[in-house]
């Protein structure tokens, strides 16, 4: 096992939280939790990344709004479209949803959300 100052960065790929191994030359990624198909538990946990390929162990950088990101992405009907990576914001995801006709339900983001800027203008003008 190798401990390093490298940091893995959490992102969402097809609705699943993953992180790419930060070790140069290693192209592995680890997922969070148990895989629904294989049952394999990934090397990405709340505070630690463990690469099954190169055995790197390091810290993970998670966004502050994990739950909001997950909730907004979950409203997308096609798992292949549930993707997020820094520096995207929850607002960016909401705008993408609106552009594709996915309207948030009343419970989204804890009971409400704010649409601003171009998305608000588009909604109010009937563009989306």
In 3D space, the residue among 83, 85, 113, 114 whose CA is nearest the CA of residue 100 turns out to be: 83
Helices (H), 1-128: 66-74, 90-99, 108-111, 117-125
Instruction: Point out which span in 3-11, 13-21, 99-107, 115-123 binds Zn ion (CB under 5 A).
Output: 13-21
Q: Which of residues 41-80 bind Zn ion (CB under 5 A)?
A: 51, 53-54, 56
In the complex, minimum distance from the CB of residue 24 to Zn ion, in angstroms, rounded to a whole number: 10
74 touches 2 (CB < 8 A): no
Residue selected from 11, 23, 71, 82 as contacting Zn ion according to rule CB under 5 A: 23
Number of neighbours of residue 45 by Cβ within 10 angstroms: 13
In the complex, minimum distance from the CB of residue 2 to Zn ion, in angstroms, rounded to a whole number: 9
Looking at the Cβ atoms of 51 and 73, the one nearer to Zn ion is: 51
């Amino acid at each position: 096992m190798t401990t390093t100052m490298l940091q893995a960065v959490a992102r969402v790929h097809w609705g699943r939280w993953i992180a790419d191994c930060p070790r140069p030359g290693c192209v592995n990624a680890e997922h969070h939790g148990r895989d629904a198909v294989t049952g394999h538990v990934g090397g990405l946990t709340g505070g630690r990344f463990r690469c099954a390929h190169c055995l790197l162990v390091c810290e993970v950088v998670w966004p502050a709004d994990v739950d909001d990101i997950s909730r907004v992405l979950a409203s997308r009907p096609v798992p292949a479209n549930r993707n997020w990576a820094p520096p995207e914001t929850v607002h960016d995801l909401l705008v993408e949803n609106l552009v594709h006709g996915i309207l948030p339900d009343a419970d989204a983001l804890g009971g409400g959300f704010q649409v601003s800027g171009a998305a608000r203008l588009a909604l109010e003008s009937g563009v989306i």
